[in-house]
Every structure is written in C-alpha cells, then in structure tokens.
Structure 1
Amino acid sequence: MIVHKIPVSVLVVIYTQDGQVLLMERADAPGFWQSVTGSQDEGETLEQTAIREVREETGLDASQFELTPWDIETRYEIYERWRHRYAPGVMHNTEHVFGLRLPRPLPVALAPREHLRYVWLPWDAAAERCFSSSNAAAVRLLPTRL
C-alpha cells in the first residue's frame, strides 16, 4: 500500500542566541541547503511534527530547548521532482515555521539518507545559502527573535 505524504509541513529554524543558524545539505539534491523540514504524520500536532523532524534529522531533542511557533504559514507549489511523494493531483503544501533556540552551536547526528553535511552560519549568510525562498525569509526574521 502506498502511503502519501500529507501536504502540511514544518520548517524548524535551529539557531543560537548570538544568531548562528544550522543548515543541512540535502542528500537527494546536493547543493540545496535548508533548515529542518518535514511533513506532518497522520494524527500529529504541528509541534509534535517539529519535535519528531528535529530528532530524525539532527538527533537533537527539541523538547530540551526553546521550541516556538512563529505563526508563519507559507503555501507553495511542491517542486515537481518531489510531487510523486504526495497523492495524485496534490500540487501545494502548507509550511508552518518554528524556531528552536539552542544555547550554542551543537554537533548534530545527520540522517545520512536525508543530509550530507551541516554547517553553522551567521543568520545573514545562512539566509543567502537557503535554496528555499520561504526558508531564507524565515531566517531573515531571526534578528527580531533574538
């Protein structure tokens, strides 16, 4: 049985008080850098999705840090290369932004099937490196959240 992704996702900007941002390079699209992202599973709240995705992609326990919904929703057209993951005819996804504040840049344990490497960058450099415009826009809001 094929299980399709739900077209609702989270974007979790992981950052430090001094404005460092964690970015990871996608394994299925080398050169594409991003924050933690992932689709909601059936029955999950958005916060549960954020906590699960952070754990899966970085090994970090988001419940041990300050996880905050940023009350930002972005509806975007799903890149054609990833549409096969969704039910036929699903063309758009709604992304919900969260911030996860850490005390300092921490080492992370990447999921090798998802990401190749990671880097901590100052927020402005991180925004420039994000391949997704909604990810870059969220990172550019960071100074208002510090």
Structure 2
Amino acid sequence: MSARPFKIPQSVLVVIHTPALDVLLINRADAPEFWQSVTGAKDREDESFEETAIREVREETGIDCAAGRLADWRLENVYDIYPRWLHRYAPGVTRNTEHVFGLQVAAGTPVVLNPREHTTYRWLPWRQAADACFSPSNAEAILMLPEFMA
C-alpha cells in the first residue's frame, strides 16, 4: 500500500446560495461544530480552480454545478493552515491559497452529503451563515455575497 500523497496547498471555497441569499453550510465530520461552505484542495497541480470547485461541490454535496451558476469571484485568500491539519501537507508547508467561487442554485436544491466528510447541513440567511462559519475567510466571503449578486 502506498503512502497517501500530501495535499496541494491550493484550494477552493465555494459559497453555495439561493437567489434569496440563503447559504448552504455543512458540518465537518472530523471537527464537530465546524460549519463551512464547500472547500477542497486540488487533486493535481494542473487541475484548474474551476475543475476543483466543480469536483468538490459534487463530492461534498451531490450538487452538479450544471444545475446552477458557478461564478468565479476572482478572489484569493492566503492563510496559515490550521495546526490540526498541517500533517496533511508536505513538511515545511504552512500556508494555503484559496480561490473563491459562488454557486447560485434554486431554493430546495437537494443536498446529499459524503458522510466521511460531513455530518449534516443547513441553509441560513447570509448574515447568519457568516456568523456560523468557523473560518474567517469563509465568513468574509459570505458577507460579500450581496455585492457579487448586485
């Protein structure tokens, strides 16, 4: 059995929302009460951020991005990787670059979680969703949602 490869420190954040600005939050299986939007790292160096976003949304929520409008917000966050997850990255890697997308879906869009990654989900009005996020960059992105919808 081969060793699991290190994560690539380039990821996506996808804020999934309805036209009424209700935001989907999912609860991490490995960190109870860590509510977040869809996130995930590139699988390969040459995987585009858009490909990563489409794959992660499908893997984590069962939502096909063709069912909504994926928008590249052209925002990137660079942040320190949480110490509890540093072991997933190559030695010496301490920072991650996160590219932000929005995905508008119809109200009532079905969500099917991957139970290995997330335990439950909820839709919240955007301000409440921002308050519920554990990640400051995730909360900040949600607070920008009305600007991107204007």
TM-score by length of structure 1 reads 0.97
- 1:113-124 equivalent positions in 2, closer than 5 A: 113-124=116-127
Residue of structure 2 equivalent to 1:138: 141
TM-score by length of structure 2 reads 0.95
Unaligned runs of 5+ in 2: none
What is the SS of the residue equivalent to 2:96? strand
Instruction: Report how far residue 37 of structure 1 moved.
Output: 0.1
Residue of structure 1 equivalent to 2:29: 27
| Cα RMSD (Å) | 0.8
**Separation (CA, whole Å) in 2 of partners of 1:91 and 1:105:** 38
8 Å CA contact 2:25, 2:129 repeated in 1? yes
Instruction: Report how far residue 83 of structure 1 moved.
Output: 0.6
1:94-117: CA deviation from partner (whole Å, max 9, x where unpaired): 000000001213221001011110
Residue of structure 2 equivalent to 1:53: 56
What is the SS of the residue equivalent to 1:87? coil
Alignment length (residue pairs): 146
* Sequence identity percentage: 59
For the pair 1:100 / 2:86, whether they are aligned, the reply is no
